Chains A and B, each alone.
Chain A
C-alpha cells in the first residue's frame, strides 16, 4: 500500500516556541500541484492561528523494495561509525558535507582513518556526488543546501559520532 505524502506547515508563537501542522495528501500529483496545495493550506491555517507561519514543506517517501538492499545488518555495523565526506561547490566559500552511518570499515586505507577512494564502491559514490546520477530524461545533480552544484571531493575520512 502506498503511503500518503506529508505536507507540513511550521509555526512560531510570540514567545519563540515552535510547532507544526501536518496534513497528508494522496500520491499521484506533480510537485507543482503539491506546492500549490501546500501554499493554499498554509494560508488557511495561518488565518486561524495567532502564531506565525515560518515555513512549509512536502515530504515524499521513496520505495526501496526490489533494489537488492541488505535486509540484515552486519554484526559489526554501528551507526556511530560514519564516513565523512566534504565537497567543494561552485560557490567558493560554501561546502557540502555528508556523514554516512554504518560505514564499512574495510573501505578505509590500511593504517589510517582515510577512506580508500580507489575502492570501487567508494569511487562510484564519489563520482555520483560530483557528476550527478543519470535518470530517465535528466540527471539528478547534488548541491549544497543553497543550490550551488557540488564540484569536487575535498575530504573523506572515517569519523565516530553519535550525532546525525
Chain B
C-alpha cells in the first residue's frame, strides 16, 4: 500500500517550547508545487495559532523493497559502525556513519576499514563520485550543498549503548 508524503511544521511558544505538527499529502507533485502548497499552509497555520511557525519540511518515503543482501545477521549490532570522514572543496568536514558494519570490512589488526573490500570501495566511490541517476549525477554534500571531494578516513568505531547513530 503506498504511503503519503508528510509535511511537518515546528512551532515555538513564548517560553521557547517547541512542538511539531504534520500533514499527509498525496504524492505526484513537483518539489516546487509542494513548496508553494507548504508555504500557503504555513500562513494558514500562522493565522490560527499565536506561536511562531519556525520551520517546515517535507519527508518523502522511498521504496526499498527491491534491495538485495538485506537480511539482519544474528550477530549484527547497530552500535558497531563504519565511520567515514570526508572533506568538501572548501575543506569542510563531513562524517557519514553506517551502522551494523560487516566484520569482513575491517582490516586485520587495526580499526581501519579494508578499502579493497568491494562494499567499502563502493561506499567510498559513492561518497566521492556520487550516483548516476536519470538525467544526471547526484553527489553527496555537506549541509551547505558543497560536494564531497575526498574521503579521508574510513574506520570501525563503537558507539556507546543508547545512542542512535
- Chain A residues packing against B (C-beta within 8 Å): 1-4, 9, 11-15, 17-27, 29-64, 67-80, 82-83, 96, 98-104, 107, 121-122, 124-125, 128-129, 133, 135-138, 140-147, 149, 164
Q: Give every chain B residue within 8 A of A13 (Cβ-Cβ).
A: 72, 76-78, 99-100
With both chains docked as a complex, state the minimum distance between the C-beta of B119 and any C-beta of chain A, in angstroms: 4
Contact (Cβ within 8 A) B29 A135: yes
Interface contacts beyond A62-B42, A82-B19, A99-B21: sample of 9 additional A-B pairs, CB < 8 Å, sorted by A = A4-B143, A35-B63, A49-B76, A55-B64, A73-B50, A83-B48, A98-B22, A102-B49, A140-B25
User: Taking A79-B11, A79-B12 as contacts, is the C-beta distance between A47 and B122 under 8 angstroms?
Assistant: yes
Q: Is B153 an interface residue (CB 8 A)?
A: no
Q: Could you say which of B2, B40, B48, B145 contacts A104, with CB atoms under 8 Å apart?
A: B48
- Chain B residues packing against A (C-beta within 8 Å): 1-4, 6-7, 11-15, 17-27, 29-53, 55-64, 66-79, 81-82, 94, 96-103, 105, 117-120, 122-123, 126-127, 130-131, 133-136, 138-145, 147, 164-165
